[in-house]
Amino acid sequence: MNYSFATLDSQLTLAQEWLTKEYKALRTGRANPAVLDNVQVSAYGSMMPLNQVATISLEDARSIRITAFDTSLVRDIEKGIVEAKLGLGTAVDGTGIRLSFPDLTTERRQEFVKMGKATLEEARTRVRMARDECWKDIQAKEKEGGMSEDDKFRLKDDMQKKIDATNKKLEELFEKKEKEILS
């Protein structure tokens, strides 16, 4: 019996990509523009992503320069950054904002590790949901008479191997991020 795991594979890949993106936005003590990906700015009567109203560039290892396309938005950009609670120092000048990344305390590093672990758990939940959908589909195909019980359990084993491999990759991503945060 041929069964396509294409849907499961795509959902597992999406879970990995999501976790990678979330970890890029998690602060590690070094300047990283990705921490600003979720910052929203009130501009022109609506909420907009920061990267649509300003350019973001690295000044050095511990600071980022944000230059607004429209200088009248500088205060709104600063407000958006403060509301995002990133723990960054902000300094406003005429054309933009300088963000400084302070050294992380041991306590703050532990908080970031906890946040990373929570994000990992959310990715695992996505994997479990994908597994459940796939298993329901396999069971439905067996009930329709499209496969034998032996095929069903063989497919279940194949599915579980994919799930285990994905969970291992997710755990590796967490361990890498944890090491990065704590160093």
Provide the residue ranges of all domains of the chain, joining segments of one domain with +.
Answer: 6-24+105-182, 33-100
Q: Name the more confident of 132 and 43.
A: 132
CATH superfamily of 6-24+105-182: Ribosome-recycling factor (1.10.132.20)
pLDDT for the residue 144? 87
Averaged pLDDT for residues 94-120: 86
Per residue, the 3-state secondary structure of the chain, as one string, reads CCCCCHHHHHHHHHHHHHHHHHHHCCCCCCCCHHHHCCCEEEECCEEEEHHHCEEEEEEECCEEEEEECCHHHHHHHHHHHHHCCCCCEEEECCCEEEEECCCCCHHHHHHHHHHHHHHHHHHHHHHHHHHHHHHHHHHHHHHCCCCCHHHHHHHHHHHHHHHHHHHHHHHHHHHHHHHHHHC
CATH topology of domain 33-100: Gyrase A; domain 2 (3.30.1360)
Q: What is the pTM of this model?
A: 0.74
User: What are the tens digits of pLDDT across the range 56-85?
Assistant: 888 887 888 989 888 888 888 888 888 887
Q: Dump pLDDT digits (tens) for 13-58.
A: 999 999 998 888 776 767 778 888 888 888 888 888 888 889 888 8
Can you give the pLDDT at residue 156? Answer: 92
Q: What is the mean pLDDT of residues 158-168?
A: 95
For residues 92-106, give the mean pLDDT. Answer: 82
pLDDT at position 1 is 60
